[in-house]
Every structure is written in structure tokens, then in C-alpha cells.
Structure 1
Amino acid sequence: MTQKIQEPLFGVAVIAGVGLIGGSLALGLRQRGLASRVIGYDASPQALEEALALGVIDEVRATPGEWLRSADLVVLAAPVKALLPLARELAPWLSPQATVTDVGSVKMSIAAEMERLGVRQFVPGHPMAGSERGGVQNASAALLENAVWVLAPTETTPLTALSRVRTLVERLGAAPVVMPPEAHDQLVATISHLPYLASLALTHMVARDERLSLLAAGGFRDLTRVASGDPRMSRDMVVENREALREATRRFIRQLEHLADTLDHPDDLLAAATEGKRTRDSLPVVKRSLLPPKFDLVVATPDRPNQLGIITNALGQAGVNIKDIEVLSVREQGGALRLGLETLDDVTRAGELLRELGYETRGRG
């Protein structure tokens, strides 16, 4: 995709932590011309060397110092456990005028720490984006496009700083959503951290009964996918948000108990199942629940090579822009793709084209 070059928002931008998210943000800054110079800061010499070799950043730094005072933008992009130590390390060197933000998945702790450190131009942030493949080698500016990016200002966050970061997020192609830090942590506990605990619980049940593993495929693998994440990073993430997660877990247990009670009342269970299906079907393809909905086209695919390539090439040649792709299932007989398209007209055109090619399709707005 060709990016439109715009006037830089910032002179010197420092990305503190050049992993997947930090590297993707750095690429977005460079490709969209949002900073005159992008400096990578990281404790890992290997990560810095790789980021420089890949063209992710313009310059590398491994220790804090006077050079930080020239930074107009500083992004704290370390894992959640390392975020507070990183903030303490850099804070003494930051210019009072520097705009500072972070990408951590928990907001209350970093907001309180930055206030304690006297960093006034700080805007807590959390891009709801990621990949199962970590590291700067997998960074991509496209990772942030269309992602919900939560901005969680406190009562002391300057409106000018919030405006600058919001503009940055928009020009990176993401969708900013503003809410208080405590609201963010409560919501993320439910939509992100609780599913991780639930996945662990289900996988532990399988691990303790070998018979279950014989049947654990398809839907079970999809449901427990998040248990495949880095155990240490996942642990740090949920522990940091433990109070909100405890409350979310209590609500989840109550929901499970209620559903268990409906097993003796089939009509109630049907009503619950209908509500569940309606809610799940209304979620956007990309599973970022705060994004505006896309228009879906579901395509049944046979178990033959290059089906994804045939479908995407055909639609690309017809000028149909695919915003998102989700693999719904993979079986011996084939599977299905859910394509997120921009308009209902795209759904109609794509459906007609793919049916001419022999595919079975079903559209949903």
C-alpha cells in the first residue's frame, strides 16, 4: 500500500523497546513521515542491531543520557513488567516539553508512576494489536492500521498532549478511543485477561486426562489459542491487572453457574444460546470489539492448494479491498474464510465473482 507522506508531527521520536509493537510503531512513523528521525532504545544490542539492519529505525541507543533531551516524542514500548523500571530509567533525562506515551496493556499502574516521576506530558496508551510472532523481525506498520488504540488520560493529563497523541494515532491509521485508566483496565480484564485464564483452565483439564486430548481439536483449539502465548509475558500481563481480573473472574464464574442451572430449563438455555450467537456474530472480523463493523462475506474453500491466493487475487483484480481475513475452520474436506469488506456493494460484487469461480459464499452486513 502506498502511504501518503505528510508533514512530520515530531522532530526526534524515541521508541524505547524495539520489539513487535515498538518496531511496528517506528515503521509507521518512518513510512508516514510522522517524525524527522526515529531513535531506537533497547537493552538488547541484538534487537537494536536487527532493527537498524531492517530499516526500522534511524539510530540506536543502549543507555540513557543527554541525547534524550532532544526527543519530541518518547514511546515506552517494553513488556508490561519492564514498563515501570523503563519509565524510572528515562524520566530524569526527558525534556519537560516532550510528549510521552506507552503501549502497555495495563494503564493505572503506569499512569500513577509517571505522575509520581513528574512526567506531565504523559498520555497512557494501549494499541489493541499484536501477533503470535514477536520480535522486531515481525514488525509491520500495517499491524497498527485499523486497530483500536485506547488513550487513557488522567485528570492531570494536558489536553495538548492528548491531542498530539490522538493525532499521531489517527495518522498511523489506527482508531483512537479515549477512556479513563481504570475503565480501560476493567474492560481489558474481561476481554483479554479473563480469556487467557479460561484458556489455561481448559488446557489444564485436557492435560490431566489423556482421553480428552484425543477429542481436543477444531473448536477447542480455537477457544484455547491464547494459551499458546509466551507464558512469562502472559503471566506478567495478568498479574499486573490482578484486581480488575479477580472481579472479572468472579463475574465469569457466576455466568457459568447460571448457564449450568439452565441445563434443567431448555428454553432458558436456548435463549442464552441465541443471545450468545447474536453477540458473537455481531463482533467485527478483526475481533477488536470497539472497531466499527465491517461487511462480511463467508467463502467455503475446498482442501486444495493456493485457495487463499486464488480468492484474494481475484478480488484484488476486481478492485475489491479486503480489510480483514479470518480462517473460520480447517477440516479434511476444506474450510471457510470470512472476508471483511468495506461496503455492502463490495460483498455483492465479491460474492458474484467468487460464485462464478465455483465457490459457495454467504454475505452478512
Structure 2
Amino acid sequence: MNAKAASGAEALAEVGTIAILGVGLIGGSLGLALKAAGFAGRIIGFNRRESEADLARARGAVDASATSMQAAVETADLVILCMGPGVMPSVMAQIAPVCPGHAVISDVGSVKAGIVKAGEALFGGRFVGAHPIAGREQHGIEAALPALFADRSCVLTPSQGTEQRALRIVRALWQAVGSEVHEMDAGLHDQMLALTSHLPHLLAYVLLDLVAGHPQQQQIAALLGGGFRDFSRIASSDPVLWADISLQNRQALLEILADYRQQLDSLATALAIEDGEALQKRFSRGKMARDALFGPHPEGLKQND
């Protein structure tokens, strides 16, 4: 265990019971990661489907499965909501009457502003919004991995009313599983994620839908290279979840889509007038931006990929 994870595990010592509502990819990975990090307390899970609850126990992601959300949280010191952002306010309203008065409440949602508003209205300063920047195209407890959050970022979105004890515990949780923790305003988080995560998912889904509807779809399948595979990878993600995320962050997405549409129009104009210089400048800026963020591709790219 590295020093960061050890520090987080030590700070979690005051937490005896963690309730994870929704033990799928993220919730299941969190349970597995906490066990791997040496969390000595008890993890209680809740899944609506009994088969998923059984598998979560069998995989060791939770110590026990509750038969209801209320039963899962009634003895919890820390509650983590791991479901689509659209249903989180309703879930919080259902568990609020039975949550212990000292319990810290958090979530893993990819959209933060609305969730934080609802959480603080119900739990006050005991609610801390969180978003681990980690995932896979697969979903469900079957895809959970204990190392999913290692060396990945996790964004916390506290407000002026957030209790320092609650913030410390949620920070410790994510440090314990190996994440690099950052703090950010909830609204700013949603604007930035619209650009870096939500828009790319929309584009990947639309591209694959375009290919699927092409009259020469079978011929196209024989011509797909690594570039198409890499770009379209995230279109294998759960469409129900991503429709929910898109709607919950619709205002930020609409704004970034308008900017993107303007850029596409500019690109179309350059193509129509055969302005190779404009195309080269645009592509060069994109390449420079990508290399600055991630470094040049170690092996280069095939020119026809």
C-alpha cells in the first residue's frame, strides 16, 4: 500500500460501517478496493436485483446485502450512492428519515450541481459530492475491479456549508483506494465534464449510429482500423446511464454542442473551398493540444489508421 492509500485508510478508522447503494461497476469496484486497502469495517450493499446482490457478496465486494435501501443505511457511518444521477435525489429522500444523524452521505455521480443541491437540502453539511474519474465500457458487478480507482483522479465538490469532518472522511475514502483527490465547484465540474467526457460519449454514440445505418454497413466493417476502434470505444458504455447523464447535464452540454457545431461548420467551409492551409492549421493545433495533454504516441500512428 502506498503512502497516500495508507493515509486514507488510517483516516477511515472512525468509520465502522459503509453502505454502498448500487453495487455495480463503480460501487462494486469501491467495495473491492476498500477490502484490498485493508478497510477493517463492515460494508453493506444494496442492489435491486437479488442476483446482483448475491454476486456482490460472492465476489467479496460487500460483507452483507440489505433487502432495502433503508435497511442498508440505518447503521451506516458513511453512505455512498452509486446509481444514475437522475434517481439520486429520490433515493436520498427515501433514506433521509432513517440515516443516522452522524452519517456522512456522498455519491459517485458524473454530474454534480443538481445532486449537491438535493443532498445538502436533505443532509446539510454532511453531504459531500464526489466523482471518481474512472470507469470501463462494461457495467455491472461482473466488471468491477479492485484497482479501478488507483492513480485516477476523484473530484470532490464541497460548498461553504460542507462540514469539515464529512469532507475529511470522503477524502480519506478515495485516498484509501488510491485516487488523487481534487476539489472543485460543482457547477464548474459540470461544465468541464461536458467537454471532456459527456460530449465525447455523445459523439461516439452518434458516429456508431451513423455507421449502423449506412447502406454499405457490411463493406464498412471490413475497413475499420485502430483509429475508429479507439475513437468509438466508449460507445460500448451503458446507454441508459449515459442518456441519464446527458439529460442531467443538458445545459452545459447544449452550450458545448453549440461551440462544437460552430467548429464543424468552419471545417465544412474549409473543405468546400478546398482550403488546405486552414485544414492543416486546425489539425496541427489539435495535434499539439493532444500531445501536450498526453505526450506523443510512443510508436507513432499508421498514416491510414
Q: 2:241 aligns with which of 214, 225, 233?
A: 233
Return the letter of the residue paired with 1:112: K
SS where residue 38 of structure 2 aligns? Answer: coil
**2:45 alignment counterpart:** 40
- Give the deviation of 1:157 after TM superposition: 1.6
The secondary structure found in structure 2 opposite 1:13 is strand
1:105-159 CA distance string (max 9 Å, x none): 1111111111222343111111111112211122112011111111111232223
Bigger drift between 172-181 and 266-275 goes to 266-275
> Counterparts of 1:253 and 1:74 in 2: how far apart (Å)?
40
**Mapped partners of 2:175, 2:264: distance in 1:** 39
Residues 31 and 43 in structure 2, CA contact (< 8 A), matched pair in contact too: yes
Residue 299 of structure 1, CA deviation: 5.5
Q: Distance in 2 between matches of 1:57 and 1:158?
A: 27
User: Could you tell me which amino acid in structure 1 is paired with residue 75 of structure 2?
Assistant: S
For the Cα contact (< 8 Å) 2:18–2:44, is it kept in 1?
A: yes
Partner of 1:246: 254
Cα displacement (A) at 1:213: 5.6
Contact 1:13–1:35 under 8 Å retained in 2: no
Contact 1:13 1:73 in 2 (8 A): yes
CA contact (8 A) 1:104 1:125 kept: yes
| Distance of aligned partners of 1:124 and 1:274 in 2 relative to their CA distance in 1, 3 Å threshold | same
Measure the CA separation in 2 of the matches of 1:150 and 1:138. 22
Q: Secondary structure at the match of 2:18?
A: strand
Q: How does 1:145-164 map onto structure 2 within 5 Å?
A: 145-164=150-169
Counterpart for residue 282 of structure 1: 292
- Name structure 2 gaps, 5 residues minimum: none
1:43-192 matches, cutoff 5 A: 43-65=48-70, 68-192=73-197
| 1:261-340 paired onto structure 2 within 5 Å | 261-263=269-271, 264-284=274-294, 298=298
Residue deviations 1:231-254, cap 9 Å, x none?
A: 222211211111111011001111
TM-score (norm 2): 0.86
Query: Which structure shows the higher strand fraction?
Result: 1
Determine the structure 1 residue equivalent to 2:208: 203
Partners of 2:46 and 2:72 within 8 A in 1: no
TM-score by length of 1: 0.73
What RMSD, in angstroms, separates the aligned Cα atoms of the two structures? 2.7
Match of residue 220, structure 1, among 195, 203, 228: 228
Between Structure 1 and Structure 2, how many residues are aligned? 294
CA contact (8 A) 2:70 2:94 kept: no
Matched residues in 1 for 2:248 and 2:144: separation?
25
In 1, the alpha carbon distance for the partners of 2:285 and 2:151 equals: 27
Per the TM alignment, residue 48 of structure 1 is displaced from its structure 2 partner at its CA by 1.3
Question: What secondary structure, in the 3-state scheme, does the structure 2 residue paired with 1:258 have?
Answer: helix
Q: How far did residue 67 of structure 1 move?
A: 6.5
Q: Is the 8 A contact 1:207 1:213 kept in 2?
A: no
Higher mean alpha-carbon deviation, 169-178 vs 191-200, is at 191-200
Match of 1:324 in 2: none
Whole-angstrom distance in 1 between the partners of 2:281 and 2:149: 37
Q: Compare CA radii of gyration and give the structure with the larger one.
A: 1
Structure 1 alignment gaps of length 5 or more: 285-292, 301-327, 336-365
Structure 1 vs Structure 2: percent identity of aligned residues? Answer: 35
